[in-house]
Structure 1
């Protein structure tokens, strides 16, 4: 049996070009599992006689959960923004996206380490650096995917022009710089590193001006 028509494409040096809809659906599923696993790190206090104090003491877990959940949410939203502009995906896009998903699946562990370090009062620098590096790798992979499809223009949708492609590229490069800055600061002063990375959240929920030709008319 042949593949569905929408998954048929021409052969290139990077393999067959395919409709990216299944890639996006699989990515959505992995991201959904990752954000769900985050809450498993928050464990109820064992001493119910002082439950209020025990719940309050879990503030590092709440913080790690909220920051990581919202950051993964941004990954999900910007993943859709990016793939809305990708008409077909070749093997390189499939590979880079797979590595991106592997990185995202690691984030619940990084969030757990971050929360544990702040609860115990030890290892905060290493924990913030681990958390930042994990998100930094996601930013690197976003830039790698977008850079690849921009170099191979045939992969892009016709709804985006050169100016729009540059606008998306600037947003992705800024993410890399922002997270790297927070990670470096976190190695010096952990609370500041977390704060810098957290300020990344409201900015990246803003729409990308110039994303499509319609935005510039």
Structure 2
């Protein structure tokens, strides 16, 4: 009887571990997820330029074009930030071998937030053009990015937990390197947003500084790809 109870206990523990490590819903090839995401992101960056309205007074066209500088600045910053999201989305899904139901849901929420960014960018530009509501506009803009940054972290950490959905070729060091790159983003954006609520230009400067840092390659990920190719007998990846 003691053996039976121990065996039953071990079996139950195994069942609990299996439930914890089993993805939610059927696993699917992430290629279609990436293709759909690329399409949504492409539409989002295209919509950015449509928010720049040409001056109505063509008699003073040059002056009118100069006065649109907040729209140009918002377009430039937001395009680079969304482009950065596109790159890091590929970084993430290059290491995810399959997507379960929760990954699909979280990715849908992320795309919904990215599609919202052209509106947030238009609000920001309009406030700086009018000279009114800049603090609120920066706060609104920052919150939109904050939600996207949080969703990035949630998707990746969920996928890598227990290595359930991560490609077997992605070692623990590479997964940790990607996490280290993603984790500071919500804090960085939150700081910029709060500073923007106090001093709008300073807040935008902090958010803009986010761009070069997150375009920088992830060294741990590159090293992992090199090791995987070397194990497979291929050429080492370029650094």
Asked if these proteins are the same fold (TM beyond 0.5), I'd say yes
Partner of 2:15: none
After superposition, where does 1:101-112 map in structure 2 within 5 Å?
101-112=111-122
Aligned with 1:16: secondary structure?
A: coil
Structure 1 residue 185 corresponds to structure 2 residue 209: no
Superimposed CA distance per residue, residues 168-194 of structure 1 (whole angstroms, 9 cap, x where no aligned partner): 011111111111111011011000000
Whole-Å Cα distance in 2 between the matches of residues 214 and 29 of structure 1? 27
TM-score, L = length of structure 2: 0.84
Superimposed CA distance per residue, residues 108-160 of structure 1 (whole angstroms, 9 cap, x where no aligned partner): 10000000000111111111011111111111000000110111412101221
1:176 to 186, 192, 198: 186
Whole-Å Cα distance in 1 between the matches of residues 149 and 217 of structure 2? 18
Aligned with 2:59: secondary structure?
A: helix
Does the 8 Å contact 1:209/1:215 carry over to 2?
no
Structure 1 residue 165 corresponds to structure 2 residue 171: no
Does the 8 Å contact 1:113/1:127 carry over to 2?
yes
Aligned with 2:164: secondary structure?
A: helix
- Runs of at least 5 residues in structure 1 that lack an aligned partner in the other structure: 1-11
Question: How many residue pairs end up in the alignment?
Answer: 206
1:142 to 130, 140, 152: 152
TM-score, L = length of structure 1: 0.92
Superimposed CA distance per residue, residues 33-90 of structure 1 (whole angstroms, 9 cap, x where no aligned partner): 0000001111111111111100000000000100000000000000000000000000
- Runs of at least 5 residues in structure 2 that lack an aligned partner in the other structure: 1-21, 231-239
How far residue 13 of structure 1 moved from its aligned partner, in angstroms, is: 5.3
1:154 to 164, 172, 181: 164
Higher mean alpha-carbon deviation, 153-162 vs 20-29, is at 153-162
Whole-Å Cα distance in 1 between the matches of residues 215 and 35 of structure 2? 21
After superposition, the CA RMSD in angstroms is: 1.3
Does the 8 Å contact 1:126/1:187 carry over to 2?
yes
Higher mean alpha-carbon deviation, 156-165 vs 62-71, is at 156-165
